[in-house]
Amino acid sequence: MLDNSIKSLATKTDQKKFIVKNLKHSFIGNDGEYVDVIDNISFSVKEKEFISIVGPSGCGKSTILNLMSGLLKPNSGNILLDGKVLNKITPRIGYISQSDSLLPWRTVLSNVELGMEIRKVPEKSRRKRALELIRQADLEGFENSYPYQLSGGMRKRVDIIKVLAVEPEIIFMDEPFASLDVFTREMLQRYILNLWQTTKQTIIFITHDLTEAITLSDRVIILTKRPTTIKYEYNIDLARPRSPEELRFNPEFIQLHKSIWEDLKNEVEM
């Protein structure tokens, strides 16, 4: 009996959340010719897994997320979410992009409430939840500030809790910290790590920063340049909970970083 329940639990956590099969995609470029962006990519993401996708710039990392979120229709290949073909936008996925997508005419509080408003959550409960998230993100006192009055790091945190507010099972992050300074970035990495440690969503994180990818994830997928395929996959078995500042001096981390960097370098070099 007990055995069985453990087994079912195990299969559940091992369950594949996303399956990407033979994905191909091309765009029509400025000269009217087809540009192959993604050339046959297959991978899967387990439930509650934190994976990072790393690749040289312009390799179509964002395109993969756009395909996986149902924003774009792939030219060929399949994307399965929980075994079902994904063919439209689903509210189960929260999407945090590089550019901040706060509504400038809304205060912090009402930006955080936006997603719940769209889902017609009653005003009282959405207010309560938004205030709770604002408190957790250390943004107390800024509830009624407008985005232009916040720093870049604060804006990003609002952007993150805005997505968290609707409790998505899966979170996509498309180079969320690319435009931030080193200190803010490290602070936000810590924030994301803590968050994931407690809530355990499935996270797909896109970055061009290898250190960031290793620090955060369970698995790192390295892409080639365009037309993009998967070059390597690495399991990152570093102990959790992790701390970005301590990891940097961890010999295991340094070794891992070095070997992945060697592989990636060949891809970046001309």
Partner 1 sequence: MKDNTNKLYNNTKDVMIRVTAFFVLLALWEAFVLLGILNPFYTSQPSRIFQDLLEFYKSGDLIKHTSITVQEALWGLFIGSILGIIVGFILGLSNILAKIFEPIITGLYGIPKLALAPIFVLWFGLGIESKIIMSSMLVFFLVFFNTYGGIKDVDRNIITSVRLMGASQTQIVLKVILPACTPWILAGIRGGLGASLIGAIVGEYMGASAGLGWMISYSTSFFQVDRVMTCILILFFIGVIFNMILKNVERVLLKWRPPTDYGETF
Residue 255 vs residues 37, 74, 208, 237, 259: alpha-carbon distances, Å: 32, 37, 19, 12, 6
Using the contact rule CB under 8 A, the part of the chain among 49-57, 109-117, 201-209, 259-267 near partner 1 is 109-117
Q: How far apart are CA 195 and CA 177, in angstroms?
A: 16
91 binds partner 1 (CB under 8 A): yes
**Which residue in the block uniquely carries the two structure tokens 């959790």?**
240
Number of residues that bind partner 1 (CB under 8 A): 27
The 3 state secondary structure assigned to 112-158 is HHHHHHHCCCCHHHHHHHHHHHHHHCCCCCCCCCCHHHCCHHHHHHH
The letter for the amino acid at 239 is: A
Any contact of residue 95 with partner 1 (CB under 8 A)?
yes
Task: Name the one range near partner 1 by CB under 8 A: 8-16, 116-124, 131-139, 253-261.
Answer: 116-124
Q: Which residues contact 95 (CB under 8 A, 6 or more apart)?
A: 65, 69, 163, 171, 172, 174
Q: How far is the CB of 111 from partner 1 (least distance, A)?
A: 11
| Amino acid residing at 8 | S
Instruction: Work out whether 143 is an interface residue with partner 1 (CB under 8 A).
Output: no
Give Cα 266 distance to the centre of its chain.
25
**Is residue 93 involved in binding partner 1 (CB under 8 A)?**
yes
Q: Is 112 in the site for partner 1 (CB under 8 A)?
A: no
Q: What is the nearest approach in angstroms of partner 1 to the Cβ of residue 162?
A: 8
Q: Taking the complex as a whole, how short is the minimal distance between the CB of residue 247 and partner 1, in angstroms? A: 31
Under rule CB under 8 A, which residues in 211-270 are in contact with partner 1? none
Residue 245 buriedness (CB in 10 A; 0-12 / 13-18 / 19+): exposed
The CB-of-165 to partner 1 minimum distance in angstroms stands at 9
Which residue from 148, 239, 262, 265 is in contact with partner 1, where contact means CB under 8 A? 148
User: Per this entry, what is the length of the chain?
Assistant: 270
Please identify which residue in 57, 87, 101, 259 interacts with partner 1, judged by CB under 8 A: 101
Least distance CB 83 / partner 1 (angstroms): 21
Interacting residues with partner 1 (CB under 8 A): 69, 71, 89-91, 93-95, 97, 99, 101, 103-107, 114-115, 117-119, 146-149, 163, 166
